[in-house]
A = this chain, B = another copy of it.
Amino acid sequence: MITLKELAKELKVSISTVSKALHDSSEISVQTIEKVKKLAKKRNYKPNKIALSLKSNRTLTIGVVIPDILNRFYSKVLDGIHDAADEHGYDVITVTTKESIIKEMDSLQILSTGNVDGVIIAMSEETLNKNDFSHIREFTMKDTPIVMFDRVTDKINCDKVIIDDFNAIYNEVKSLKELGRKKIGFVTTINDLNVGKYRANGFRKATYDFFGKFDKNLILRISKNLDKHIEIQKFIEKNKPDAIISADIICGVISINIARSLRIKIPDELSVVGFGDKTISEYSSPKLTTIYQHGSQIGNRSVELLVDRMNSKWFGLEKNINSFTTEIIPTMTIGGESK
């Protein structure tokens, strides 16, 4: 990497002259500016980011802590984070926790050494289960702003972005009823996760509200060791639902394929709706109608909130330091041919 010093030496001027020239300072003569810029271009000079950071105490980098990069939802959020960060001129450094609280602590340590200006985090499952947020709280005590998304907790004061899981299902039940469906089943493999619970609650409440009663046989909870295909087939044959809502990104597709092999007409005899996205809906025919989570929007909003905080820190803008916002991103049922 070529430095100001080397340019200065070659041009036989001082370092600060070169620096000023490159910044079009009015203190420097036009000829000198031109001369300097020419050589800088020739030598392909780029100011050293590290030195800039040391001086300005800003890195223009944000840190992201997520449980698992292979989880499609998180990679979508990450994608949204990248887009928005790019827009604001920030780099992104990502760390994954693999759902482990220890790795999460390590991750925050890594990001506490001055290499990022702010952090976006979705907590690990273990952290949520242990209900131990001390490392997060400790982090918020420092002056690095933090934004939580998806996996959040009331115990920590910061900006948050979450999905409206409850209403995602609640509204879906409502919509299916309006389509004339009378016996709606709910299939889930993620009942131990918070989001899974919110979704199940949405289903239960909606069933009470719209059908006046709740038949718990219409909820199928498939534990990890069971075969999803077999369980769903039994469920359909036994209960003969006229609609199925899947709480995860996989059982919707499976339900369609099962139904098809049972010669059940979709969507005429059975509506199927599930979480997912365009890619996932491709795996079944007819294509699954999906509840879309706006992952990239969540990433976007997280960055916006974080940038606001960072700006108010650097430029002392209006943002109230004691007031935090929680944004609730609605879901949306889109596409497909199965509803």
Q: Which residue of B44, B72, B94 is within 8 Å of A82 (Cβ)?
A: B94
**Chain A residues bordering chain B, tally (CB within 8 A):** 49
Q: Would you call B50 and A69 a contact (CB within 8 A)? A: no
Chain B neighbourhood of A114, CB < 8 A? 1, 46, 48-51
A182 within 8 A of B: no
Q: Would you call A283 and B250 a contact (CB within 8 A)? A: yes
Q: Which residue of B1, B61, B70, B109 is within 8 Å of A93 (Cβ)?
A: B61
* A302–chain B nearest beta-carbon distance, Å: 16
Question: Which of the segments A166-174, A203-211, A252-260 contacts the partner chain?
Answer: A252-260
Q: Would you call A283 and B283 a contact (CB within 8 A)? A: yes
A54 within 8 A of B: yes
* A259–chain B nearest beta-carbon distance, Å: 10
Chain B neighbourhood of A61, CB < 8 A? 93, 115
Task: Report how far A260 CA is from B204 CA in the complex, Å.
Answer: 34
| Nearest B-chain residue to A48, judged by Cβ | B114
Q: Would you call A69 and B59 a contact (CB within 8 A)? A: no
Task: Report how far A47 CA is from B113 CA in the complex, Å.
Answer: 7
Interface 1/0 per residue, A277-296 and B, CB below 8 Å: 00100111100000000000
Q: Would you call B82 and A75 a contact (CB within 8 A)? A: no
Chain B neighbourhood of A51, CB < 8 A? 54, 114
Interface 1/0 per residue, A74-115 and B, CB below 8 Å: 011011001000000001111110000000000001101111
Q: With A50-B59, A54-B54, A114-B1 as given contacts, are A282 and B92 in contact (CB-CB < 8 Å)?
A: no
A35 within 8 A of B: no
**Copies per complex?**
2
Interface 1/0 per residue, A145-172 and B, CB below 8 Å: 0000000000000000000000000000
* A63–chain B nearest beta-carbon distance, Å: 9
Chain B neighbourhood of A46, CB < 8 A? 109, 112-114
Chain B neighbourhood of A282, CB < 8 A? 228, 250, 254
Q: Which residue of B78, B113, B228 is within 8 Å of A69 (Cβ)?
A: B78
Chain B neighbourhood of A142, CB < 8 A? 1
A261 within 8 A of B: yes
Q: Would you call A94 and B92 a contact (CB within 8 A)? A: yes
* A283–chain B nearest beta-carbon distance, Å: 4
Q: Which residues of A contact B (CB under 8 A)?
A: 1, 44, 46-51, 53-54, 59, 61, 69-70, 72, 75-76, 78-79, 82, 91-96, 109-110, 112-115, 138, 142-143, 228-229, 250, 253-254, 257-258, 260-261, 279, 282-285
